[in-house]
Amino acid sequence: MARIKIDLDRRIGTVDRRIFGGFIEHLGRCIYGGIFDEGSPLSDERGFRLDVVQALRDLRIPVLRWPGGNFASGYHWVDGIGPRDQRPRRMNLAWHIEESNRFGTDEFIAYCGLVGAEPYICVNLGSGTIDEAQAWVEYCNGTGHTYWANLRRQHGYPEPYGVKLWGLGNEMYGSWQIGALSAEDYVAKAREFAKVMRMTDPSIQLVSCGWNGWSDWDRVVLEGLARYVDYHSIHLYTGSPDYYGNVLSPHLADFALASCQALIDRVRYEQGIDHPIYVAYDEWNVWFRQWGYDASVAGLEERYTLADALAVATYLNIFIRRCRTVRLANLAQMVNVIAPIFTNPEGLFLQSIYHQFRLYSEWTLDVALDAFVEAETYHLSSEQEARSPWRHRVARLGPFTLVDAACTVNSTGEEITLAVVNRDLQRAVQATIEFVGTAVRPGALVREVNGPGPDASNSFDQPAIVSVSERALDTGGSTISYEFPAHSVTLIRFHVA
Ligand code: AHR
């Protein structure tokens, strides 16, 4: 049994659609062989795989982060502009593979245009220089007759790209990162980058490199960079071979966002900073099978199950509920590498996590409501927790309700979308959905992601084992009874009577 209570007056805030953003990195088959496949009959004349473009358009990704990830910390962007055949082939030290540089800044911007996404570029704070970062902003956004703006024109792009979002490095705290730094050294370096990048184009928005949102690194970086940035980034992956460990560990994101908001509030208060700072949750996903920083781990080609889709839905519920904190989030990644879209030279199939991500990006509405949920709870044990390679200590944040919900309403209050994840492995949950002071019309549309069991997984041979079913609800009123099947994600679109 569960009880969900929806009150249209209990508004949390506006859901920034950019929480449905994506991320592509020069890693494994994400770019080459994924979104970009020169000479393939499936690609256009520029080399963009059109089946992938369509799948991404359908996902409605509003923003795309590039070029990494770890790759960013060794990437010299100038290698990737100009005539493709003259671009240097370089060793990519982050992932120990050769980089042809045939996909570079101009290709990325064109690709964003094709899929309808805003570009978000992460600059090289590892082996890169201030001059390179400054030149990159000028190449993209310059309107004058400077060297870099003119070079962009010379390459056939007369109009400035107007890239607004710029990340000040990737995971610069990590020993695996090229040019890793202490938090204090990162602050000193990133501040100088921020100054010249903003002098070049005062309209850009900058993202400081955070860790998990609660660490000392985050505190030091926010204290040092709050004046210079608009967003602070968090990266957090979860995943476990243990079913409940897997579907419940995204609750760590809730802890991360709450902790980071507290850090941001304190720094803004103490330093008298007037401009807002939001969290950019710019890498997140389930990732535990092809795990590690070695691209030889099959290029991180994680194959996703229904359980993973429940975890991804839980993340998105949390982002919606924390919409006042997180204004930008990027599913890592989009194609082949820990991704919802999986290609081979002949075509693609959509992984389980694609379907529910798409449902959320299409169907959730603009204002988050604080829905009340009462349901059975589950305690994770430390043994279950220990099965995850991430070693996150999520058990102590529980217990968690097996039913997790996020509710959104449109600005006129006429439409409501309720998103419910039933993480109960065995049992359907009978729920009453109560609308406080209002009623809904019969005929609500229901879409559900489910499959034969938690391990169900799509493949080229069986592309629709995990898929979306749709039906209409014939009941209406102020209280509705609905049974949420075991291991399911359900979105219901109600119309207020
Ligand atoms: O997304 C894969 C890798 O995970 C990224 O390159 C890095 O930023 C993160 O650690």
Residue nearest to atom 5 of ligand 1 (CA): 69
The residue nearest atom 9 of ligand 1, judged by CA position, is 69
**Same domain for 148 and 292?**
yes
Distance (angstroms) between ligand 1 centre and the Cα of 271 equals: 32
Instruction: Judge whether 9 lies within some domain.
Output: no
Ligand 1 within 6 A of CB of 62: no
What local confidence, expressed as pLDDT, does residue 291 receive?
81
Q: Tell me, yes or no, whether 424 lies in a domain.
A: yes
172 Cβ below 6 A of ligand 1 = no
Final residue belonging to a domain, choices 366, 390, 420: 366
| Same-domain pairing of 175 and 321 | yes
Same structural domain for residues 228 and 330?
yes
What CATH number does the domain containing 471 carry?
A: 2.60.40.1180
How far apart CA 256 and CA 329 sit, in angstroms, is: 13
Residue 2, domain member (yes or no): no
Report how far ligand 1's centroid is from the alpha carbon of 478 (Å): 46
423 CA to middle of ligand 1, Å? Answer: 27
Q: Which two tokens stand for residue 482?
A: 């609905």
CA 26 to chain centroid:
17
Residue at 8 is within a domain: no
Task: Identify which of 243, 70, 260 has the alpha carbon closest to the alpha carbon of residue 167.
Answer: 70
Domain-located, residue 5: no
Residue with tokens 């229901």: 446
Q: Is 170 in the pocket of ligand 1 (CB under 6 A)?
A: yes
Is the distance from CB of 276 to CB of 455 less than 8 angstroms?
Answer: no
Pick the residue whose CA is nearest to atom 8 on ligand 1. 69
Q: Is residue 354 part of a domain?
A: yes
Say if ligand 1 is within 6 A of residue 69 CB.
Answer: yes
92 close to ligand 1 (CB < 6 Angstrom):
no
Residues 441 and 322 in one domain: no
**Are residues 400 and 263 part of one domain?**
no
The CATH number assigned to the domain holding 139 equals: 3.20.20.80
Same-domain pairing of 180 and 308: yes
- Atom number, ligand 1, closest to the C-alpha of residue 68: 6
- In a domain, residue 4? The reply is no
Q: Quick one: CA dihedral 484, 59, 406, 402, positive or negative?
A: positive
Tabulate helix, strand, coil % of the chain (nearest 5): 30, 25, 40
CA distance 264 to 259: 9
Amino acid 294: pLDDT: 66
Domain C-terminal end among 344, 366, 388: 366
Q: What is the largest CA-CA distance in the chain?
A: 67
Q: Tell me, yes or no, whether 222 and 325 share the same domain.
A: yes
**Tokens of residue 278, six digits:** 């939001």
Q: Residue 167 and residue 133: Cα distance in Å, rounded? A: 10
- Tell me if 417 CB under 6 Å of ligand 1: no
Answer yes or no: is 1 within a domain: no
Give phi and psi for 190, each to the nearest 5: -65, -35
Q: Which of 351, 366, 381 is the C-terminal boundary of a domain?
A: 366
Residues 209 and 302 placed together within one structural domain of the fold: yes
Q: Which residues does the annotation mark as catalytic?
A: 171, 283
Domain identity same for 282 and 412: no
Residues 92 and 23 in one domain: yes
Beta partners for residue 468, in sequence order = 449
Q: How many separate domains does the chain show?
A: 2
- Supply the pTM of this predicted model: 0.97
- 352: its two tokens: 């389980």
- The answer to whether residues 329 and 447 belong to one domain is no
Q: Ligand 1 centre and the CA of 202: distance in Å?
A: 29
Let me know whether 92 and 160 are in one domain: yes
Local confidence pLDDT in tens for the 497 residues of the chain: 999 999 999 999 999 999 999 999 999 999 999 999 999 999 999 999 999 999 999 999 999 999 999 999 999 999 999 999 999 999 988 888 899 999 999 999 999 999 999 999 999 999 999 999 999 999 999 999 999 999 999 999 999 999 999 999 999 999 999 999 999 999 999 999 999 999 999 999 999 999 999 999 999 999 999 999 999 999 999 999 999 999 999 999 999 999 999 999 999 999 999 999 999 999 999 999 988 766 566 689 999 999 999 999 999 999 999 999 999 999 999 999 999 999 999 999 999 999 999 999 999 999 999 999 999 999 999 999 999 999 999 999 999 999 999 999 999 999 999 999 999 999 999 999 999 999 999 999 999 999 999 999 999 999 999 999 999 999 899 999 999 999 999 999 999 99
The range of the structural domain enclosing residue 397 comes to 372-495
Q: Where are the beta strands (DSSP E) in 55-111?
A: 63-66, 90-92, 97-99
